[in-house]
Amino acid sequence: MAAPLLITPTLPKLKNVLFATDFSAGSLAALPYAGRIARAFGANLHLCHIEASAPLATGLADLHLYEAAGKDAVQRLVALRGLPEIKGLDTALVLAEGDVKDELLKVVSAANIDLVVAGTRGRTGLRKMLLGSVTEEICRVVTCPILTVGHEAVYNAEAPFQRILFPTNLSELSKKAGPYIAMLAREFGAPITVLHVLPEDEATTSDEKSLSESIRRAMSKEFSELAAFQPEFLVEFGDTAETVLRVAREKKAGLIAMGIRNAFRPGVLRERTAYRIIAGAQCPVLTVR
């Protein structure tokens, strides 16, 4: 019997990585990941901070304070360059003023950004999960891939993405994450787990074992471009976000990567699956549009 044909995916290029920061501890937790990715792929690293516009009715004293805040931001951006995580990289400093959404789009377009890296606010309280308004704006308006890093993520310099969890509903949109997963798996030697989650009632109304095996075969066929990485295919039952987060913990995933669309459009965000995964993950999450 002839050996199976292994399809080598066309891998994306990462030439420009943007690290968005408000200088908080939460945002700076993402810097080691931005630095490691930029170093691994020889990318330019753009260190970006956006200052809110001064109100039109601001008095002279407040304008002086605002000017001082801008100078402080420049100094902080310059200081980031000397940190060990990014020292020696080709870095550019980007300080913009105005509406976060508008300015971010300008920066991403002007610098041909291929990946945005940002920290999240993470959990606040026992059950409440928030990303933070700036991170939500980034996820809402930026169309290139975004890597979000929550406060529970622990950076491992030896294996920053020790296992990649790929949740998929087998849609064409979800498959868009595949080339990025292949790129990171190849560069960092990370094993891949592909996960499909079915509603809980599917387990009670059908032959669970037979259904799971059928879906695993379909997953193996749909993601043949990942065959070279010998991925693990899992089928689970339950709430999608809760199941993805549980499997990520059980597998000690170093990255969750998924394709999404309109997950951050205006409206109630916090009940949406992608939002819940990003806010609740204990590891970085890569979203691909």
Task: Supply the pLDDT for residue 14.
Answer: 96
Residue where a domain stops, chosen among 101, 119, 153 = 153
The reported pTM is 0.88
1 inside domain? no
pLDDT tens readout for residues 119-161: 986 443 333 344 666 777 888 888 899 999 998 899 999 999 9
Q: Which residues does 204 contact at the CB level (< 8 Å), separation at least 6? A: none
CA 134 to CA 147: how far, in whole Å? 14
Q: What is the structure's pLDDT at 136? A: 78
Give residue for tokens 């009715």. 57
165 in the same domain as 148: no
Q: Is residue 61 part of a domain?
A: yes
Quote the CA–CA distance of 201 and 209 in Å, as a whole number. Answer: 14
The count of structural domains within the chain is: 2
Residues 146, 160 within the same domain: no
In a domain, 4, yes or no: no
Give residue for tokens 């394709």.
259
Which helix H or strand E contains 256, and what residues bound it?
A: strand 255-259
Predicted confidence (pLDDT) per residue in 29-64, tens digit:
999 999 999 999 999 999 999 987 655 444 444 544
Token pair in block for residue 227: 């065959």
Residue 58: which residues within 8 A CB-CB, separation 6 or more? 66
Same domain for 17 and 146, yes or no, is yes
Q: What are phi and psi of 60, to 5 degrees?
A: -60, -45
Q: Give Cα separations from 89 to 54, 106, 122, 286 (angstroms).
A: 33, 23, 28, 22
Give the count of alpha carbons within 13 A of 238, CB side only. Answer: 10
Note the pLDDT of residue 138: 83
Which amino acid, 211?
L
| 237 and 203 in a common domain | yes
Residue numbers of the domain that contains 29? 11-153
In a domain, 2, yes or no: no
Are 136 and 164 in the same domain? no
211 shares a domain with 141: no
Rounded CA gap, 59 and 65, in Å? Answer: 10
Integer Cα distance of 98 and 114 in angstroms: 23
Mean pLDDT of the chain: 85
Confidence of residue 282 (pLDDT cuts 50, 70, 90): very high
Verify that 202 and 288 share a domain, yes or no: yes
Q: And the tokens for 69? A: 């805040």
* Residue 4 predicted with pLDDT over 50: no
Mean pLDDT, residues 63-91 taken together: 82
- How far CA 218 is from CA of 2, 224, 252, in Å, comes to 21, 10, 25
Picking from 117, 138, 153, the residue at the C-terminal end of a domain is 153
- Boundary of a domain, candidates 118, 153, 188: 153
Q: What is the CATH number of the domain that holds 194?
A: 3.40.50.620
What's the CA angle centered on 157, arms 152 and 248, to 5 degrees?
Answer: 40
Stretch 187-200: mean pLDDT: 96
